[in-house]
Amino acid sequence: MTRICLFPGTFDPITKGHVDVIERAVGLFDKLVIGVGINSSKQPMFSLQQRTGWIKDIFRNDPRIEVASYEGLTVDYCRQINAHYILRGIRYISDFEYEKAIADMNRMISPDIETIFLTCSPLYSTISSTLVRDLIRNKANSSMFLPDEVRF
């Protein structure tokens, strides 16, 4: 059985923290699909094409990583791509509480899909897309938090 994992998120924009989690997780699976979720309750700063393009560019040399977009329930998309694992990055205890609630719900509706939590490296634990977007909106230098491929 091929071990396929979905790493879902909005990645608006993808940060060095996301990249850290992806680079440490990719070796645990045969294939890691970075799923850029389309969430009707969120209005992203960057277009879906821009976000998926950045991610494809960052991981262009790793054939184990795929990038896709999806809408709807994450577990439904997991079934669509035959993924039995969902990867979630954790920065703080508050992230864990939120993510555990989602993981528990997912487990109840799809017991065959396991959620894997990977803690962020301490160097990146304070980085969030929300804070980075605030820097960008206010024309502050955000480059130290973003991969080189993320340009706007």
Can you give the residue ranges of every domain in the chain?
A: 4-145
pTM of the model: 0.95
Q: Which of 72, 86, 75 shows the shortest CA–CA distance to 3?
A: 86
- Give the active site residues: 18, 42, 91, 129
For position 42, what pLDDT does the model report?
80
CA dihedral 135, 66, 78, 28 (to 10 degrees): -90
Average pLDDT, the chain: 95
| Over residues 117-131, mean pLDDT | 93
Contact in structure between 25 and 5 (CB atoms under 8 Å): yes
Number of other CB atoms surrounding residue 61 within 10 Å: 6
Report the C-alpha gap between 65 and 22 in whole angstroms: 9
Does the pLDDT of residue 152 top 90, yes or no? no
For position 112, what pLDDT does the model report?
97
pLDDT band at 109; cut points 50, 70, 90 = very high
Does the pLDDT of residue 40 top 80, yes or no? no
Contact in structure between 99 and 130 (CB atoms under 8 Å): no
| Over residues 67-75, mean pLDDT | 97
Contact in structure between 8 and 86 (CB atoms under 8 Å): yes
More confident residue, 107 or 39: 107
Does the pLDDT of residue 77 top 90, yes or no? yes
Q: What's the token pair of residue 110? A: 């799809």
Query: Exposed e or buried b for every residue in 74-112, given b needs 16+ CB within 10 A?
Result: bbebbeeeebbbbbbbbbeeebeeebeeebeebeeebee
CATH 3.40.50.620 fits 4-145, yes or no: yes
